[in-house]
Amino acid sequence: MTKCDKCHSRSIIHQRYSGMRLCTTHFQEDVRRKVREDLRKTGLFGRGACVAIGLDGGWGSAVLLQIMQDIFSRRRDIDLVAITVVEGEAGTPHCDQAFDQARQLAKRLNVHHIVAPLDYAEIPGEAPGCRDLADRKMDRLMDEARAQGASILATGHSLDSVAGEVFLKFLQGDVDGLFQRQDPSGQLHHIRPLQRIPEREMRLYALQCDLLPANSKGHDRSSRDDLRQQVRRHLGGFDSRHPGTNYSLLRSLERIHLLRGVNASGAKPLSDDRK
Ligand SMILES: [Zn+2]
C-alpha cells in the first residue's frame, strides 16, 4: 500500500507535478486550498457581492459550484447565482442531460438557478457557426450575469483548459487573445478559480463528492472545434511526459498580464503551484 505523504492513510493519487502522493482527505483539501487561494488573490471578495457561476453540467462547473457554496454559505453578504446557458430559442430551449444535471445539482446545493437561452436570432447579422460557439455562450453568460446584478462571474475552466487556450493563442500568434474578454463597463470581473486544478483531479473530486453521475459525459463544452481539441490532446500528452507543463503555461499567461500591467480578472499574480 502506498501511503499519503501527509498522513498514514492509503494514497489515491500521485501528483507528478508536485511529487506528492495524497489520500482522499488530503487530496480534497489540496483542491479546496488551491481554489480558496485563487479566490483570495482576486481581491474581489473582501466585501459583499453577487457572484454568478457558469453552470454547464460539466465536471468543472459542478466542482466550482460545490466549493464556492461551501466557502460562501456562511457569508451573508455574498449571494451566489448559478447560470446555465442553453442553446435554442427563448421559448423552447434545448434541454439535454447536461442541463438536467446542472439543474439537479443547483437544487441539491440550494443555489438559485437561472436558465439563459442562447437564441441565435438575438444576435443581429450573425449566423450560427460563423463565430465560435464557446465565445457566444460566454457572451450570453456575461450578459445574464450582468442582468442578475452580479459583479463577479466565475467559470469552471480547469488548468488543462486554460493552458490549452494559452497554447492555442501562441500557435495562432494571437497575443491579444491571451487577455480575457473584458466587460466594457468594467462592472463584471470574470474569474476562473479552478485554473490551478488539473482536469483529472477535477473529475476525481467530482466523482468522490458524488456531484455528477459516474457515467456523465461531463464534457468540456468549450472544446468543440477541431483545432482546440487537437491542441488539448497534444498538450495532454506532453504534460503527462513532462509534468508541470500546463502550470508553466499558466505562469507564462500571468507573466504576460504583468508585463502589460493589466490583469483581466483584477487578480494578483499566481503563486508557484508546483508545491
Ligand atoms: Zn492523507
Cα 255 from chain centre: 20
Distance from C-alpha of 12 to C-alpha of 208, rounded to nearest angstrom: 11
| Cα–ligand 1 centroid distance for 24 (angstroms) | 7
| Cα–ligand 1 centroid distance for 26 (angstroms) | 5
| Cα–ligand 1 centroid distance for 166 (angstroms) | 33
Distance from C-alpha of 54 to C-alpha of 7, rounded to nearest angstrom: 35
The residue ranges of every structural domain in the chain are 13-260
User: Which three cell numbers mark 271?
Assistant: 503563486
| Cα–ligand 1 centroid distance for 176 (angstroms) | 42
| Cα–ligand 1 centroid distance for 34 (angstroms) | 16
pTM for this one? 0.87
| Cα–ligand 1 centroid distance for 25 (angstroms) | 6
| Cα–ligand 1 centroid distance for 11 (angstroms) | 7
Contacts of 19 (CB under 8 A, 6+ apart): none
Distance from C-alpha of 159 to C-alpha of 167, rounded to nearest angstrom: 12
Distance from C-alpha of 165 to C-alpha of 108, rounded to nearest angstrom: 32
Please choose, from the candidates 258, 208, 229, 255, the residue with its C-alpha nearest in 3D space to the C-alpha of residue 160.
Answer: 229
User: Which three cell numbers mark 15?
Assistant: 501528483
DSSP 48-71: -EEEEEE--SSHHHHHHHHHHHHH
pLDDT of the chain, 275 residues: tens digit per residue = 899 999 999 999 999 999 999 999 999 999 999 999 999 999 999 889 999 999 998 999 999 999 999 999 999 999 999 999 998 766 566 678 888 899 999 999 999 999 999 876 655 555 555 567 778 889 999 999 999 999 999 999 999 999 999 999 999 998 888 886 667 777 899 999 999 999 999 999 999 999 988 877 655 444 456 788 888 889 999 999 999 999 999 999 989 888 877 654 444 443 334 43
| Cα–ligand 1 centroid distance for 3 (angstroms) | 8
CATH H superfamily, domain 13-260: HUPs (3.40.50.620)
| Cα–ligand 1 centroid distance for 274 (angstroms) | 18
Please choose, from the candidates 162, 210, 245, 166, the residue with its C-alpha nearest in 3D space to the C-alpha of residue 28.
Answer: 210
